[in-house]
Amino acid sequence: MKREGILKIQYIGDSETAEFTAKECKRYLSAMDPMVEYAVMKRVAYDPQVKNTLWIGQDKFFETKLPQVEDPKLDDGIYIDFKNGAGIISGTNDRSLLIGVYRFLRELGCAWVYPGKAGERIPRIKLAGAMVSVCEAASYRHRNICIEGACSYDHVLAMIDWLPKIGMNGYFNEFFVPYTHFDRWYSHRNNPLLYPHNLTVEEVEGIVQDHIKEIKKRGMFYHAVGHAWTAEPFGIEGNSWESKEYHVPEKTRCMLAEIDGKREIFRGIPINTNLCYGNQTVRNRLIDVITEYCINHKEVDYLHFWLADGYNNHCECELCKNTLPADFYIMILNQLDEKLKTAGLDTKIVFLIYQELLWEPQKEKLKNPERFVLMFAPISRTYSTAYSDLGIDIREDLPPYKRNKITLPRSVAANVTCLKKWQEKTGKCDSFIFEYHFMWDHFKDPGYMEIARVIFEDCRNLDKLGLNGMSQNQTQRAFFPNGLGVYLMGEALWNKKDNFEDLIDKYFTDTYGTDGRKVYKYLCALSKQFDPPYIRHEKPQKDLERAKSFSGIGETIESFSGIIKENIAKNGDLGIGRSWELLKFHAELCGILAKSFECKASGNGVAAETLFNDVVAFAHVHEIDLNDVFDVWLFIETMGNAVKQEGAYFN
């Protein structure tokens, strides 16, 4: 093959991320225009006299061309200028360089519609005639995904690799060791058709270390821990939500929260167990262990310190009963800041506004807001409503705090009111939201179209809530039938002014080809007929009109089946063809699921549960076929509850 020219890809500096970025650029450009020869080289500084070069890096010459950001280390901005076969890609930091290169490739026609090889769309082009000009800063600082659900080594690696391709900049591992998430996959929990592997904690530690290397290679922020601070520092295992019997020594038992006169593991789950925060020994132990962790884990950019994951379980003893949990929390955070200062550590500490902590402190205030990042986690909110649907300024006060007798707020307005009251106490503290759109609620919208609209609107309006980004607590496989929702999250967090309809057109064309708009209309019809608020138990569960809607889903699917078959036949088994194949599986699953909900809405709960067994059987049989895009374990847990329960609930 005769080459038509050479493009030197010269990266500036010694960082691993800059080198990786240059190699990624070469890898994709080689596939896009194989007639050009590509050579990756390292340089100390930019030299305008060198021709036929794509410069990648940070240099004094580029500084004036970059967009202005508040903090170049924390905030991502990119500058791209490419024409006549040469140019510059620069960023405010190494992480931004990688995001900039992927943006350059996207402007040339690449698309990554969901993680993994099948989600790549790499066009053939003539590079010589290409022109790209971009100068942008991300709308929000915090743009990361947190591990959840059931996942394998490869599932998480694919997610880490995909995130900067959609403009995201961080990854979050919960727990000291996120054993439970990997065990759910490798044990093939609840799927008797697959052979289980008994995973060890040591194996998961090795998996995590590999993933941290991949995160750091990409220059991404690494978030860690969150859960387990109320267990591990006191010698109690805290790596799952499994309920067990524990023998707790008396010297530890006296540090647990006293509830109804007893100090014990709350319902057998250590990470759900609060402590006696009025006890100075308890506070000192927490502070010492967190400081030691920061000293030994310099790879952590944002360390999450959370209280217990349960609620209505705070200490009732004389030391605690007259002080709000939030006041104890701020007390501990202030003491922790002093300890970290003494140790010479600048680690950012993320604190969680959640459950009892939705009620703001009355006495304590953060003494050094620069150390901390407020993370607002409205776990009980409805996802039938976006923040903007009711107006950002609508308020709804919670009832006064009553120890161990709280009810979590469902409405968006009540949750936002809690946030606003906290913000009055924390001043100019950095902040972001911790959300759950793709933990459970995407399953409750089988068409995925309504949840996609809600996530897009939520992300666009975070600044109006005084928040600087989002961490999405989600399954690593929220891409069945497609990845529209997570893609829209990345787009809106990068550019809050993006147009929804333009993004829809691009995504569905990239994912499905010329019939993409037909798929969009079909999935919108499914979302409407499934009625997510009904599945979320926000409407009466016996509803004959709703039963009629469920009965019509089979006809909607049947009328679209010919288009699915036609596109599978003409598009092969990779890329666009794989997306159509996923639609086929999705249609079959939705057909069975609709029958189950039809019975439920008709008032026949027994038949509904029997038919849901068919849903489970289908998911189990095809779990390996769908394992890269569909979290079967979490789907069955979520939708099983939706079918079986009668009252309003949230998971």
Task: Name the pLDDT band for 428 (thresholds 50, 70, 90).
Answer: confident
| pLDDT above 90 for 51 | no
Q: Are 532 and 451 within 8 A, CB to CB?
A: yes
| pLDDT above 90 for 150 | yes
How far apart (Å, rounded) are the C-alpha atoms in residues 230 and 336?
15
pLDDT at 388: 85
| pLDDT above 90 for 216 | yes
State phi, psi for 227 to the nearest 5 degrees: -75, 150
Q: What is the token pair recorded at 152?
A: 């394998």
pLDDT at 279: 98
pLDDT at 393: 73
Average pLDDT over the chain reads 95
With CA atoms as reference, report the closest residue to 567 among 528, 518, 612.
518
How far apart (Å, rounded) are the C-alpha atoms in residues 206 and 212?
10
pLDDT at 567: 96
Q: What is the pLDDT of residues 160-173, one digit of tens each?
A: 999 999 999 999 99
How far apart (Å, rounded) are the C-alpha atoms in residues 542 and 649?
16
pLDDT at 4: 73
pLDDT at 573: 67
| pLDDT above 80 for 323 | yes
Q: What is the pLDDT of residues 612-644, one digit of tens each?
A: 999 999 999 999 999 999 999 999 999 999 999
| pLDDT above 90 for 466 | yes
Task: Name the pLDDT band for 651 (thresholds 50, 70, 90).
Answer: very low
| pLDDT above 70 for 463 | yes
Domain ranges of the chain: 5-137, 142-501, 512-644
pLDDT at 571: 86
| pLDDT above 50 for 363 | yes
CATH number of 142-501: 3.20.20.80
How far apart (Å, rounded) are the C-alpha atoms in residues 592 and 438?
22
State phi, psi for 574 to the nearest 5 degrees: -125, 165
pLDDT at 649: 43
The dihedral formed by the CA atoms of 38, 41, 47 and 52, expressed in degrees to the nearest 10 = -10
Torsion-angle region of 32 (φ positive above 0: left; ψ -120 to 50: alpha; else: beta): alpha
3-state SS, residue 112: strand
3-state SS, residue 524: helix
Task: Name the pLDDT band for 3 (thresholds 50, 70, 90).
Answer: low
Task: Name the pLDDT band for 395 (thresholds 50, 70, 90).
Answer: confident
In which element (H, E) is residue 274 found? none
Residue with tokens 């008797």: 192
State phi, psi for 286 to the nearest 5 degrees: -60, -50
pLDDT > 70 fraction of the chain, expressed in percent and rounded: 98
Residue 624 CA: distances (Å) to CA of 157, 185, 632: 18, 11, 10
Domain 5-137: state its class.
alpha beta
pLDDT at 645: 81
DSSP state of 197: -
- What pTM was estimated for this model as a whole? 0.96
| pLDDT above 50 for 650 | no
